[in-house]
Amino acid sequence: MDFLLLCLLCSCVLYVFFLIIFPRSSRFNFRKLGLPPGNLGLPFVGESLQLISAYKSENPEPFIDDRVNRYGTLFTTHLFGEPTVFSADPEANRFVLQNEGKLFECSYPSSISNLLGRHSLLLMKGGLHKRMHSLTMSFTNSTIIKDILLVDIDRLVRLNLDSWTDQVFLQDEAKKITFELTVKQLMSFDPGEWTEKLRKEYLLLIDGFFSVPLSFFFTTYGKAIRARRNVAEALRVMVRERRKDSNKKKDMLAALLGDGEGGFSEEEIVDFLLALLVAGYDTTSTIMTLAVKFLVETPLALAQLKEEHEEIRAKKSSVALEWSDYKSMPFTQCVINETLRVANIIGGVFRRTTADVNLKGYTIPKGWKVFASFRAVHLDQLHYKEARTFNPWRWQQSNSGSLGGSTGTGNVYTPFGGGPRLCPGYELARVEISVFLHHLVTGFTWVPPEEDKLVFFPTTRTQKRYPIKVQRLHRLV
Ligand code: HEM
């Protein structure tokens, strides 16, 4: 907080100097430059502090609403050190996503790339990105989930839930589960001492994504860089052991090693695995936690969800779920859709223009940043009736083209992005969340926290990690 105040104070002083030195006529003229209208805010910090303080609250929407009302759904601002065109417009977002690799490319600050590693899929570009994206997809598609992954997803979710007694922090438990699932899927490791040690380092690494990038031994970012080194080293050792192992496995790591056909270098594999663990971890676990929070706050929806899962359970003799069970959860899919719409951890994506780009009549200069905001579209009353209310039933009508006021879901629903960088884990995440909800609502009764607020900065989460008092109804393993 002190740091924010200091930034604000410095910026105000600089702003006053700026006003004195430059007369009004010589200041930034958006229309003349062909840019969307807007405001660049204070020198250096731009409008970042307003954005941060909005997203630290339970209701960040006014930040976008005010600007959309003043300037329209495309506006210019200045965020995190750079002028940025902010899009709250579904068509513009689609254009940005579809033109990835042509007119736009993904853009992360160096503080983030240092944590991810340069061979991470999130940072790759061009032909290599295409190849690695489709390789990832081939390990996360529905056939693989159905034939190979589901058994372990179900088993590991049950194993975790079965150990719950008395009080658990749902947010932490969900993170533990998604981490263990990803490690299993990528490198066939069952949870144990090694995975738990890796996960502890990972927690430090993830904190680094949301911290001031000052790399001293005592700062959060400095600790994250050290944790990255430790995680990379642990993965490197594991990769070496796997190369020597004659007992061939059929996981992502085996595909990366090429198993006799060349494959990738050790550094490439380490960066790749590390980033996949990042990509699927906070995202999926946050949706698991928030689905439960929203269900608790919407008792009719919770009752309907329970009914759906109890019907499945009533037809089964074994506790383990099968693919046909997953396919009999239509209301659960509505709950997941709605949770992703209302509170997705990925509110949008940053891109950088690789040429002067014409976007809805404006010209965005080459090298500028564009933020395609999914959240702004998902919460726009124009596209969703009562857009700011959690209403899973709206998805029951979505096939008839209405989400309570919208014309189809294409551009207005993009929780997993789109275009060449469409999330390869979109189906996997749905399956993991569905299995988790199934065993939670059929295996437990629970008392939710009296109050636990949702905040959105530095990342979407509940303030108290959603503590629940649980009572297990039967053994899950
Ligand atoms: C609810 C859960 C999830 C959400 C909301 C989500 C969302 C997203 C979004 C919006 C993107 C696009 C980023 C961009 O365009 O720059 C993305 C990319 C990605 N996601 Fe997910 N994701 C989820 C789960 C997963 C899981 C389980 C995996 C594990 C396989 C995963 C792996 C990835 C990877 C590797 C990318 C980068 C793709 C690329 O740049 O080509 N995600 N995700």
The strand pair at 369-373 and 348-353 is best described as antiparallel
Q: How far is the CA of 33 from the centre of ligand 1 (A)?
A: 35
344 lines ligand 1 (CB under 6 A): yes
Q: What is the pLDDT of residue 261?
A: 58
Is the shortest distance between the CB of 279 and ligand 1 below 6 Å?
yes
Q: Tell me, what amino acid is at 401?
A: G
Ligand 1 geometric centre to CA of 200 (Å): 22
For a ligand 1 pocket test, name from 137, 423, 428 the mutation site with the most ligand atoms within 8 angstroms of its C-beta.
423
Cβ(149) to ligand 1 under 6 A?
no
Cα 250–133–119 angle (5° rounding)?
90
Decide whether any atom of ligand 1 lies within 6 Å of the 90 Cβ. Answer: no
From CA 4, how far away is CA 9, in angstroms rounded?
9
How is residue 352 written in tokens? 């950088």
What residues contact residue 38 under an 8 Å CB cut-off, 6+ apart?
Answer: 30, 67, 71, 75, 76, 77, 86
Residue 409 pLDDT > 80, yes or no?
Answer: no
pLDDT at 18: 54
Residue that wins the pLDDT comparison between 44 and 353: 353
For 89-101, the pLDDT digits (tens) are 999 999 999 999 9
Find the 281 Cα to ligand 1 centroid distance in Å. Answer: 10
Ligand 1 touching residue 476 (CB < 6 A): no
- Both tokens of residue 176? 């533990």
Maximum distance among all Cα pairs of the chain, rounded to whole angstroms: 78
Cβ–Cβ < 8 Å for 204, 224: yes
133 lines ligand 1 (CB under 6 A): yes
Report the distance separating Cα 63 and Cα 55, nearest Å.
8
Q: What is the mean pLDDT of residues 183-199?
A: 93
Distance CA 221, CA 241 (A): 30
- The single residue listed with the structure tokens 């924010």 is 4
Ligand 1 touching residue 339 (CB < 6 A): no
Any ligand 1 atom below 6 A from CB of 140? yes
Residue 55: predicted pLDDT:
86
55: left (phi over 0), alpha (psi -120 to 50) or beta: alpha
| Atom 4 of ligand 1: nearest residue by CA position | 283
Q: How far is the CA of 280 from the centre of ligand 1 (A)?
A: 7
**Peptide bond preceding 458 in cis form (omega within 30 of 0):** yes
Cα–ligand 1 centroid distance for 418 (angstroms)? 10
Per-residue pLDDT of 254-299, as tens digits, reads 888 886 555 788 999 999 999 999 888 889 999 999 999 999 999 9
Other Cβ atoms closer than 10 A to 293: 21
- Centroid of chain to Cα 415: 8
Q: Inform me whether the pLDDT recorded for 2 exceeds 70.
A: no
Annotated binding site: 423
pLDDT in tens, 373-403: 999 999 999 999 999 999 999 999 765 444 4
CA distance 122 to 283: 14
Ligand 1 site, residue 349, Cβ cutoff 6 A: yes
**Closest approach atom of ligand 1 to CA 428:** 27
Instruction: Look up residue 179 and give its DSSP letter.
Output: H
Query: Is there an atom of ligand 1 within 6 Å of 106 CB?
Result: yes
Share of the chain above pLDDT 90, in %: 71
Residue 209 has pLDDT above 60, yes or no: yes
Per-residue model confidence as pLDDT tens digits over 425-474: 999 999 999 999 999 999 999 999 999 999 888 889 999 999 999 999 99
pTM: 0.92
Rounded Cα distance between 146 and 165, Å, is 31
Name the β-bridge partners of 447: 469
Closest C-alpha among 242, 234, 258 to residue 187: 242
User: Model confidence at 23, in pLDDT bands (50, 70, 90)?
Assistant: very low
Q: Residue 124 C-alpha to ligand 1 middle, in angstroms?
A: 14
Mean per-residue pLDDT for 318-333? 96
For the CA of 429, the closest atom of ligand 1 is 27
Average pLDDT, the chain: 89
| Residue 129 alpha carbon, nearest atom of ligand 1 | 41
The atom of ligand 1 lying closest to the CA of 414 is 10
Cα angle at 191 between 217 and 163, to 5 degrees?
A: 105
CA of 141 to the centre of ligand 1 (A): 13
Amino acid at 375: R
Strands 467-472 and 167-169: antiparallel
Count Cα neighbours of 474 within 13 Å in the Cβ-side half-sphere. 9
Residues contributing to the annotated binding site for heme: 423
CA-nearest of 258, 259, 287, 257 to 175 is 287
Q: Is the CB of 375 under 6 A from ligand 1?
A: no
Quick check: CB of 286 below 6 Å from ligand 1?
Answer: no
Could you tell me if the CB of 423 is within 6 A of ligand 1? Answer: yes
Neighbouring residues of 346: CB distance < 8 A, sequence distance ≥ 6: 283, 374, 415, 417
Q: Quote the CA–CA distance of 53 and 47 in Å, as a whole number.
A: 10
Residue 348, helix vs strand vs coil: strand
Q: Averaging pLDDT over each range in 41-50, 365-374, 452-461, which range is the top one? A: 365-374
- What does the alpha-carbon distance between residue 51 and residue 384 come to, in Å, rounded to a whole number? 24
User: What local confidence, expressed as pLDDT, does residue 134 receive?
Assistant: 93
Are the CB atoms for 314 and 376 separated by under 8 Å? no
Q: Is 434 in the pocket of ligand 1 (CB under 6 A)?
A: no
What CA–CA distance (Å, rounded) separates 361 from 134?
34
CA within 13 Å, CB half, 447:
6
CA-closest residue to ligand 1 atom 17: 423
Please tell me the predicted confidence (pLDDT) of residue 401. 41
